[in-house]
Amino acid sequence: MTTNKKILLVDDSTTILMMERMILGSGPYTLVTASNGKEAVEKAVEQRPDAILMDVMMPQMDGFEACRELRRREETKSIPVILVTTRGESASVESGFASGCSDYITKPINSRELQVKLRHVLGE
């Protein structure tokens, strides 16, 4: 039996969070949400999720900044982060990986791609 993995969903769009919940809700996951990068870092430290799906363009702290902050902290540095963004151009993808993300998905979200990449970073 697989244990429930905790996934932190981070996006300032309630619509995207709802879509991600619908895509992942049927899986063996406990879903936690945050609406900006600053809140994501706080929740990651507090909740210790198994993986984080994070938007890039957000208020207070963007996904790149939040990813760098997560990598700096001992308690969150090994949590896989998948950046989810509308910005698919190579410079953005490179910035994402430079900030420490584990993978990158562009919006609109392809549910199959999201599930495959999430299982991959979770080692499933």
Domain boundaries defined on the chain: 5-121
Domain boundaries 5-121, CATH class: alpha beta
Going by C-alpha positions, the residue among 2, 6, 11 that lies closest to residue 86 is 11
Entry pTM: 0.94
Strand residue runs (E) in 35-71: 51-55
Q: What's the pLDDT tens digit per position in 10-45?
A: 999 999 999 999 999 877 899 999 999 999 999 999
- pLDDT 10s digits, 62-114: 999 999 999 999 999 999 999 998 877 888 889 999 999 999 999 999 999 99
Q: Give whole-number Cα distances, 85 to 24, 57, 88, 111, in Å.
A: 17, 7, 7, 14
The predicted pLDDT at position 3 comes to 66
Side-by-side strand order, sheet with 81-85: 29-34, 5-10, 51-55, 81-85, 103-106
How far from the centroid of its chain's Cα atoms is residue 55's Cα?
7
